[in-house]
């Protein structure tokens, strides 16, 4: 199941891709209709973002399936299909936590002359205000030097957990999406040399394209070994598979939750493979991950 956060000129809403033709069901309208007709709940709120679903503890794959079955049975599909034009929001806007991994692919670490971690993942944070959606523009600053792309598989947490064991980690995952971890590389190098955190080089506005949707965890079975590729314009820059991660997803969840409680809607970007490189105004970035889809963003210079 693919869930999207969308917007029209009037409002935000949640969509579910209904079939292979790409028709989208408006879940924001369908949920209260289902609750009213099926469960006699008249005041069920219109949930307009996936972030709200997580906050209200309503991100429930079985619930979404029941809603679809109900509206099919009662011939309500045509009423609930999205017919107006829309734009994409990031599937998780302003995540409670945006946790990232550094050097989690050995060849990426070595292309920068760094030593890959061996005992524990390198963990850092990225600002939630960096997040933008599919087909949106990455506005890059022109006064900080080189800006790089980094494609990453992102894990979206579905339930609260602390000190999660590897063998239980999969049950805490709501789904998966794509993140482009845009990085001010020269600024990052400067901070590394000064033994400062990477936060500012990773957290400019627009530096975290995410999307185009969340693919629910039931659609991608463990061990989640997926091809991932990134193009800048027509040039293939990154081409790998998540099986090449030093720390796999259960190990990542176990390690992070050892230090902090994970909450529904938290996003974990699992690291990037080799092939990162600079981007510039005028570029088109296409990030693709097997079984998830394609995230496209455009690069422009930031203006005052």
Distance separating alpha carbons of residues 34 and 49, to the nearest angstrom: 18
| Count of domains forming the chain | 2
108 and 230 part of one domain:
yes
Q: For position 39, what pLDDT does the model report?
A: 85
161 and 244 part of one domain:
yes
18 and 126 part of one domain:
no
Give the residue numbers spanning the domain of 68: 2-88
Residue 93 forms part of a structural domain: no
Please measure the distance between the N-terminal and C-terminal CA atoms of the chain and give it in whole angstroms. Answer: 40
172 and 212 part of one domain:
yes
130 and 262 part of one domain:
yes
Do residues 302 and 142 make contact, with C-beta atoms less than 8 angstroms apart? yes
83 and 212 part of one domain:
no
62 and 174 part of one domain:
no
From 110, 56, 220, select the one nearest 154 (Cα to Cα): 220
From 150, 107, 152, select the one nearest 249 (Cα to Cα): 152
Please give the model's pTM, rounded to 2 decimal places: 0.95
Residue 155 forms part of a structural domain: yes
DSSP state of 36: H
| Token pair listed for 94 | 């302003």
Distance separating alpha carbons of residues 195 and 118, to the nearest angstrom: 20
113 and 220 part of one domain:
yes
The domain boundary, picked from 88, 119, 152, lies at 88
128 and 258 part of one domain:
yes
The domain boundary, picked from 39, 62, 88, lies at 88
Q: What is the pLDDT along the chain (304 residues), one digit of tens a residue?
A: 999 999 999 999 999 999 999 999 999 999 999 999 888 888 899 999 999 999 999 999 999 999 999 999 999 998 999 999 999 999 999 999 999 999 999 889 888 878 888 899 999 999 999 999 999 999 999 999 999 999 999 999 999 999 999 999 999 999 999 999 999 999 888 988 888 888 999 999 999 999 999 999 999 999 999 999 999 999 999 999 999 999 999 999 999 999 999 999 999 999 999 999 999 999 999 999 999 999 999 999 998 7
| Token pair listed for 266 | 């938290």
Q: For position 109, what pLDDT does the model report?
A: 85
Max CA separation in the chain (angstroms): 63
67 and 105 part of one domain:
no
6 and 147 part of one domain:
no
From 101, 245, 237, 266, select the one nearest 175 (Cα to Cα): 266
User: Taken in order 133, 270, 264, 196, is the CA torsion positive or negative?
Assistant: negative
Dihedral, CA of residue 230, residue 232, residue 235 and residue 238, to nearest 10: -30
Q: For position 111, what pLDDT does the model report?
A: 85
Strands 87-88 and 2-7: antiparallel
142 and 237 part of one domain:
yes
Q: For position 146, what pLDDT does the model report?
A: 96
Residue 185 forms part of a structural domain: yes
Beta strands in the chain (DSSP E): 2-7, 12-17, 24-26, 87-88, 98-102, 122-125, 131-132, 137-140, 147-149, 151-157, 173-180, 183-184, 208-216, 227-232, 235-241, 267-269, 277-278, 284-289, 293-301
Residue 141 forms part of a structural domain: yes
Residue 176 forms part of a structural domain: yes
CATH classification at residue 295: 3.90.850.10
Residue 210 forms part of a structural domain: yes
DSSP string, 156-178: EE-S-BSS--GGGGGGGEEEEEE
DSSP state of 64: H
């Amino acid at each position: 199941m693919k869930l999207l956060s969308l917007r029209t000129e009037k409002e935000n809403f949640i969509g579910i891709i209904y079939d292979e033709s790409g028709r989208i069901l408006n879940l924001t309208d369908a949920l209260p209709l289902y609750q009213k007709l099926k469960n006699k709940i008249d005041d069920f709120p219109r949930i307009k973002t996936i972030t709200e679903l997580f906050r209200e503890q309503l991100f429930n794959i079985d619930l979404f399936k029941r809603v679809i079955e109900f509206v099919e049975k009662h011939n309500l599909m045509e009423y609930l299909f999205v017919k107006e034009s829309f734009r994409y929001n990031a599937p998780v806007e302003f995540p409670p936590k945006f946790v990232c991994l550094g050097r989690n692919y050995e060849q990426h670490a070595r292309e920068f002359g760094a030593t890959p971690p061996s005992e524990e993942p390198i963990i850092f944070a990225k600002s939630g205000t960096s997040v933008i959606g599919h087909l949106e523009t990455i506005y890059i600053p022109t006064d900080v030097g080189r800006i790089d792309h980094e494609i990453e598989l992102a894990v979206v947490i579905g339930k609260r957990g602390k000190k999660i064991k590897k063998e239980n980690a999969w049950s805490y995952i709501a789904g998966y999406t794509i993140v482009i971890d845009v990085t001010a590389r020269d600024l990052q190098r400067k901070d590394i040399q000064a033994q400062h955190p990477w936060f500012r080089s990773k957290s400019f506005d627009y530096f975290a394209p995410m999307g185009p949707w969340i693919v629910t965890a039931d659609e991608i079975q463990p061990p989640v070994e997926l091809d991932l590729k990134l193009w800048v314009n027509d040039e293939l820059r990154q081409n790998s598979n998540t099986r090449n991660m030093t720390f796999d997803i259960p190990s990542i969840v176990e390690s992070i939750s050892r230090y902090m409680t994970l909450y529904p809607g938290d996003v974990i970007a699992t690291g990037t493979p080799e092939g990162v490189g600079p981007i510039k105004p005028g570029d088109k970035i296409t990030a693709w991950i097997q079984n998830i889809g394609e995230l496209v963003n455009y690069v422009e210079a930031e203006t005052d």
